[in-house]
């Protein structure tokens, strides 16, 4: 601890159920300051730490680690009815046509509200995909931990150097804020929009500095057709807008660029078994954005195969550019509805892990678990009635939570 820094007073929080290693503890409590000091039976903690402050008991309560949204584009938060939903390429045309207008409308108030909306839904950490760095001040102000993914974009060889230099300066700007709760990171936009030469450069930098990397990958059927055959709606799109005749990357070549550096691939809706096996075998992870996929006409992620191959995955909201809210619980409910072939309670359990432990591991954060030594990032949810049986508690939590009752980051209460 820094000299002069006052040590935070220890507190004890009790809940009817405490989420612990995929199950629930009863009659337990958490002793914490900035970090979790112990998870133990309530009576035991009270007698061993009489100096600790006892927080008021909330009836019918469940304590979870704070939830983590690994993929959100905050700069597009002004969108409501500007972008066209329903088909990916039409959406992309609308983004290209109205991007400046949307970014211009996205003021500090809108950015603050986007972070606050996530907070109310229990999000204590998130991965911000940043196109221009316009949200850096807002996320520095927000209480959440943030992994700040600076986006690299540009497929035209004539302009890639300028775009790469701009990417580097944004990366540096976010590195200067790493004092707060911001971790600088890299987002390679996608295989169709980034030239392999700059992907190589960015990956060399990521390896050298140990930076977290994320990329949109195999999102739409049109992306797959373009990368595989150089045809389809993307062909016309690239010819018309960039006078480009052929894709710059193949599916396999793009994946190879990330070898040896575990990467968080977003969407993967159009990935087949062989790509999913490559993702599994090379130690990568997937961000699943069910509503974004539905709203942009991309299809359904093959979650059954992802479970079978044991690929670590998270559930994330994407931005308001392809969604209607940034609530992590709205997203989890959508996942339950979309994957109707998977047993409901099994899926609910996996989804809770997706937005806690899995997401923390992907963003390399010491949170996402209620265990001694982890940050005291916690969420208390009061259910409407007494919970007799905790077997179905993951499902009840997902179905009934609109906003969390209490939220702590670094042991400090924010909701
Ligand atoms: O994840 C969704 C859909 N897939 C790709 N990109 C974006 C998404 N939401 C926002 N984007 C942004 C992306 O960061 O839209 C632009 C990029 O800046 C598309 S390419 C001009
Ligand atoms: Fe995205």
Number of structural domains (the chain) is 2
Q: Do 265 and 355 lie in a common domain?
A: yes
Inform me whether the pLDDT recorded for 187 exceeds 50: yes
Q: Do 172 and 201 lie in a common domain?
A: yes
Query: Which listed ligand is nearest to 97 at the C-alpha?
Result: 1
Inform me whether the pLDDT recorded for 389 exceeds 90: no
Higher pLDDT, 3 or 7: 7
Q: What pLDDT is stored for residue 7 in this prediction? A: 67
Q: What pLDDT is stored for residue 60 in this prediction? A: 98
Distance CA 189, CA 198 (A): 11
Q: What number does the ligand 1 atom closest to the CA of 91 have?
A: 3
Q: What number does the ligand 1 atom closest to the CA of 129 have?
A: 14
Q: What pLDDT is stored for residue 83 in this prediction? A: 98
Inform me whether the pLDDT recorded for 4 exceeds 60: no
Distance CA 342, CA 346 (A): 7
Q: What pLDDT is stored for residue 247 in this prediction? A: 98
Higher pLDDT, 374 or 3: 374
Q: What average pLDDT does range 52-79 have in this prediction?
A: 98
Inform me whether the pLDDT recorded for 1 exceeds 90: no
Q: What number does the ligand 1 atom closest to the CA of 187 have?
A: 14
Within-domain flag for 39: yes
Decide which of 348, 363, 378 is a domain's last residue. 363
Ligand 1: residue of 70, 127, 189 to mutate (most ligand atoms within 8 A of CB) is 189
pLDDT tens-place string over residues 27-65: 999 999 999 999 999 999 999 999 999 999 999 999 999
Q: Do 277 and 207 lie in a common domain?
A: yes
Residue nearest to atom 16 of ligand 1 (CA): 95
Task: Tell me which residue range forms the domain holding 146.
Answer: 67-363
Q: Do 346 and 401 lie in a common domain?
A: no
Residue nearest to atom 5 of ligand 1 (CA): 216
Residue nearest to atom 15 of ligand 1 (CA): 95
Distance CA 290, CA 337 (A): 9
* Cβ contacts of 275 within 8 Å, gap of 6 or more: 218, 251, 255, 268
Q: Among the listed ranges 45-49, 176-180, 378-382, which one has the minimum average pLDDT value?
A: 176-180
Inform me whether the pLDDT recorded for 240 exceeds 50: yes
Pick the closest to residue 296 from 278, 270, 274, 323 (CA basis): 323
Q: Do 221 and 286 lie in a common domain?
A: yes
Q: What average pLDDT does range 195-201 have in this prediction?
A: 97
Q: Do 72 and 62 lie in a common domain?
A: no
Within-domain flag for 5: no
Q: Do 171 and 308 lie in a common domain?
A: yes
Decide which of 342, 363, 384 is a domain's last residue. 363
Q: Do 57 and 131 lie in a common domain?
A: no
Q: What pLDDT is stored for residue 179 in this prediction? A: 74
Within-domain flag for 1: no
Distance CA 170, CA 149 (A): 10
Q: What pLDDT is stored for residue 5 in this prediction? A: 55
Distance CA 99, CA 143 (A): 28
Within-domain flag for 155: yes
Q: What number does the ligand 1 atom closest to the CA of 219 have?
A: 4
Cα 160 to averaged position of ligand 2 atoms, centre (Å): 21
Ligand 1: residue of 318, 323, 326 to mutate (most ligand atoms within 8 A of CB) is 318
Within-domain flag for 174: yes
Neighbour order of strands in the sheet with 412-413? 23-26, 17-20, 61-65, 378-382, 406-409, 412-413
Q: What number does the ligand 1 atom closest to the CA of 319 have?
A: 9
Share of the chain above pLDDT 90, in %: 97
Residues with catalytic roles: 219
Cα 99 to averaged position of ligand 2 atoms, centre (Å): 14
Query: Which listed ligand is nearest to 71 at the C-alpha?
Result: 2
Q: Which helix (DSSP H) or strand (DSSP E) does residue 25 occupy? A: strand 23-26
Cα 244 to averaged position of ligand 2 atoms, centre (Å): 23
Computed over every residue of the chain, the mean pLDDT equals 97
Residue 367 backbone zone (phi > 0: left; psi -120 to 50: alpha; other: beta): beta
Query: Which listed ligand is nearest to 163 at the C-alpha?
Result: 1
Within-domain flag for 6: no
Q: Do 333 and 255 lie in a common domain?
A: yes
Residue nearest to atom 1 of ligand 1 (CA): 318
pLDDT tens-place string over residues 142-171: 999 999 999 999 999 999 999 999 999 999
Listed in sequence order, the DSSP H helices in 210-343 are 221-229, 233-242, 251-256, 273-281, 290-295, 303-308, 328-338
Q: What pLDDT is stored for residue 6 in this prediction? A: 63
Cα 267 to averaged position of ligand 2 atoms, centre (Å): 8
Q: CATH number of the domain that 398 lies in?
A: 2.30.40.10
Q: CATH number of the domain that 322 lies in?
A: 3.20.20.140
pLDDT tens-place string over residues 319-359: 999 999 999 999 999 999 999 999 999 999 999 999 999 99
- pTM for the predicted model, two decimal places: 0.98
Higher pLDDT, 1 or 79: 79
Inform me whether the pLDDT recorded for 395 exceeds 90: yes
Inform me whether the pLDDT recorded for 3 exceeds 60: no
Cα 405 to averaged position of ligand 1 atoms, centre (Å): 33
Q: Do 311 and 351 lie in a common domain?
A: yes
Cα 85 to averaged position of ligand 1 atoms, centre (Å): 13
Q: Do 181 and 323 lie in a common domain?
A: yes
Within-domain flag for 73: yes
Q: What pLDDT is stored for residue 349 in this prediction? A: 98
Q: What pLDDT is stored for residue 52 in this prediction? A: 98
**Ligand 1 pocket at CB < 6 A:** 73, 76, 95-96, 129, 131, 151, 153, 189, 193, 216, 219, 292, 318-319, 321-322
Within-domain flag for 314: yes
Q: Do 372 and 235 lie in a common domain?
A: no
Query: Which listed ligand is nearest to 298 at the C-alpha?
Result: 1
Share of the chain above pLDDT 70, in %: 98
């Amino acid at each position: 601890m820094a000299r002069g820094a006052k040590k935070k007073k220890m507190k004890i929080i009790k809940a009817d159920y405490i989420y612990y290693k995929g199950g629930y503890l009863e009659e337990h409590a958490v002793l914490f300051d900035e970090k979790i000091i112990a998870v133990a039976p309530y009576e035991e903690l009270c007698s061993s730490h009489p100096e600790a402050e006892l927080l008021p008991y909330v009836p019918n309560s469940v304590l979870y680690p704070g939830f983590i949204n690994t993929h959100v584009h905050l700069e597009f938060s002004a969108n409501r009815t500007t972008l066209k939903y329903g088909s990916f390429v039409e959406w992309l045309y609308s983004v290209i046509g109205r991007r400046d207008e949307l970014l211009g409308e996205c003021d500090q108030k809108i950015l603050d509200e986007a972070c606050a909306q996530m907070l109310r839904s229990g999000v204590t950490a998130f991965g911000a995909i940043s196109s221009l760095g316009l949200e850096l001040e807002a996320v520095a102000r927000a209480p959440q931990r943030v992994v700040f993914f600076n986006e690299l974009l540009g497929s035209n060889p004539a302009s890639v150097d300028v775009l790469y230099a701009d990417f580097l300066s944004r990366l540096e700007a976010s590195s200067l804020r790493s004092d707060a709760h911001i971790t600088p990171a890299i987002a390679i936009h996608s295989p169709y929009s980034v030239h392999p030469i700059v992907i190589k450069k960015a990956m060399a930098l990521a390896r050298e500095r140990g930076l977290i990397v994320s990329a949109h990958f195999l999102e739409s059927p049109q992306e797959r057709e373009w990368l595989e055959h150089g045809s389809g709606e993307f062909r016309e799109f690239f010819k018309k807008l960039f006078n480009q005749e052929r894709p710059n990357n193949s599916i396999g070549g793009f994946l190879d660029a990330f070898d040896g550096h575990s990467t968080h691939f977003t969407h993967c809706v159009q990935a087949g078994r062989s790509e999913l096996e490559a993702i599994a075998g090379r130690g990568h992870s997937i961000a699943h954005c069910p509503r974004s996929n539905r709203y942009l006409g991309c299809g359904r992620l093959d979650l059954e195969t992802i479970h079978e191959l044991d690929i670590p995955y998270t559930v994330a909201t994407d931005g308001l550019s392809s969604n209607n809210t940034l609530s992590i619980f709205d997203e989890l409910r959508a996942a339950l509805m979309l994957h109707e072939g998977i047993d409901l309670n099994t899926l609910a359990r996996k989804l809770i892990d997706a937005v806690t432990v899995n997401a923390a591991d992907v963003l390399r954060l010491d949170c996402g678990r209620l265990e001694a030594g982890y940050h005291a990032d916690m969420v208390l949810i009061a259910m409407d009635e007494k919970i007799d049986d905790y077997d179905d508690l993951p499902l009840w939590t997902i179905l009934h939570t609109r906003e969390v009752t209490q939220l702590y980051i670094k042991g400090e209460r924010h909701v």
